Amino acid sequence: MHDHRRLGRELGLFDTDPLIGAGLPYWLPDGAAVRHALEEYVREAERRAGYQHVYSPVLGKRELYEISGHWAHYSDDMFPPMDLGGEQVVLRPSLCPHHALIFRSRSRSHRELPLRMAELGGMYRSEPSGVLGGLTRVRAIQLNDAHVFCALEQVAEEARAALGMIRSAYEALGIVPGRYRLSLPGPGGKYVDAPDLWRRSTALLTEALDASGLPYEAEEGEAAFYGPKIDVQVTDAAGRESTLSTVQVDFHQPERFDLRYVGADGARHRPVMVHRSIVGSVERAVAHLVERHGGAFPAWLAPTQLAILPVSDAELPHATALAHRCVSLGLRADVAGPDRGTLAARVRAARLVPYQAVIGAREAAAGLVSVRLRDGRRPAALPADDLLTRIGALVASHSTGLWDGPEPPERAEDPDRLDPPSRPPTA
């Protein structure tokens, strides 16, 4: 595997500046394109699974985290509070307290459960500067987070469904989970003292794991302070293991925030919170993807999906028109003309790009494109629109395949398919 820090810089995905600070990377356009594709995938998968998205602020009053228990159990990892007009606000260490308040902001009926609330939101961790590096240890984290507020009898099924979403996401991302870990509390005062609740939540997670048929290992001392977790572990280039995805059961925060819903019996009941993350933080997910694929991302994630290579300046207008067409179809394309070197040099420079479209005099005259796939395959030359339809279908299906896969749907004849662009392509 590759080191994502070195490769991330080489590929122009992200960087840091001492003036912004350690552990606070910024994303360059190519990195932002990968991240955007990943975030879109996650939001769409959540939407299909019945999640509703919210936005909540990255700050909150200190009191909020005192109620949630973070202040007592987690303050070593939190940024110091800021004094603001007589009150103290802190950068949030997690999204759960905000979501609990959003749940509490309306009276809730059992008919609304399971209420699945999702947010790709910022959270902050005061990591010591010695451990910071690349995208894996950062101080500002964008988390793919969600909380399912549900009745006790719905917990195991919600946890099982979350494991299913994780499995589908890994398939699309081309990630292989290292192992599944059932993370239990260990000795010490780090954990909420409620033995009965720990027993019940551990039983529910075990039930979900068994129902999914996944092999797992139980490990003490790895739970969240409020409850046990199922952690999906991956390994980085240096052989270090870290948690990417997680599913957690929490009886603690619903109690601390006095969450209620009105049951079918008309009485008020306490919901359970299932915390879950499909891809974890976008920082760690992208770091892992870079290491896993060595920069050769699945086509739907690739910063540039199509490198368009005109053989000579004479084919440049055709190349530009094709790039324009890509932009209008939502594909990310880059024209590499003769000013960037010989054709062989340009093919080499684009070796991580899933598709290379070569246009010579013969192709230009016939309205065709010669395709080279990243893996070395060279299908027969085909009409530009057929190529884009095929790539578009593979990208839309989040396939990790480059050519084989669902056949493109029939398309209507499009008379202006290779018209000169009305504006310069932005790809």
Chain positions contacting Zn ion, by CB under 5 A: 96, 275
CB 249 within 8 A of CB 272: yes
> Given the complex with Zn ion, which of 232 and 301 has the nearer CB atom?
232
Q: Which is nearer to Zn ion, 16 or 94 (CB)?
A: 94
Beta bridge partners of 89: 61, 82
Backbone angles phi, psi at 395, to 5 degrees: -65, -45
**Shortest Å distance, C-beta 80 to Zn ion:** 22
Q: How far is CA 150 from CA 17, 112, 154, in A?
A: 44, 9, 6
Type of residue at 141: I
By CB atoms closer than 10 A (0-12, 13-18, 19+), residue 101 is: middle
- Give the nearest residue (CB) to Zn ion: 96
Asked if residues 146 and 43 have their Cβ atoms less than 8 Å apart, the reply is: no
252 vs 292, beta carbon nearer Zn ion: 252
**H or E element that contains 147:** strand 140-150
Q: Give the residue with the Cβ less far from Zn ion, 70 or 346.
A: 70
Instruction: Tell me the β-bridge partners of 242.
Output: 234
Minimum separation from the CB atom of position 39 to Zn ion (A): 18
- Rounded distance, CA 364 to CA 332, Å? 21
Least CB distance to Zn ion at residue 199 (A):
21
| Closest CB 250 distance from Zn ion, rounded Å | 7
From the CB of 92, what's the least distance to Zn ion, in Å? 11
Ramachandran quadrant class, 420 (left: phi over 0; alpha: psi -120 to 50; beta: rest): beta
Q: What crossing angle do the helices spanning 316-329 and 384-396 adopt, rounded to 10°?
A: 30
| Phi-psi label, residue 282: left if phi above 0, alpha if psi -120 to 50, beta otherwise | alpha
Q: Are 212 and 163 in contact (CB under 8 A)?
A: yes
> 5: alpha, beta or left, given left = phi > 0 and alpha = psi -120 to 50?
alpha
Least Å distance, CB 229 to Zn ion, is 10
Residue with tokens 């909150």: 60
Omega of the bond leading into 317 within 30 degrees of 0 (cis): no
In whole angstroms, how close is the CB of 97 to Zn ion at the nearest point?
8
Question: In the complex with Zn ion, which residue's Cβ is closer, 275 or 398?
Answer: 275
Nearer to Zn ion, 96 or 159 (CB): 96
CB of 387 to Zn ion, least distance (A): 44
* Residue placing its CB nearer to Zn ion in the complex, 96 or 394: 96
**In whole angstroms, what is the distance from residue 21 CA to residue 31 CA?**
19
Q: How far is the CB of 252 from Zn ion (least distance, A)?
A: 11
- Give the residue with the Cβ less far from Zn ion, 123 or 333: 123
Which CB, 98 or 324, lies closer to Zn ion? 98
CB 327 within 8 A of CB 320: no
Nearest to 285 by CA among 159, 178, 143: 143
In a 13 Å sphere around the CA of 418, the CA atoms on its Cβ side amount to 18
Q: Which is nearer to Zn ion, 96 or 155 (CB)?
A: 96
Question: Smallest distance, Å, CB 260 to Zn ion?
Answer: 19
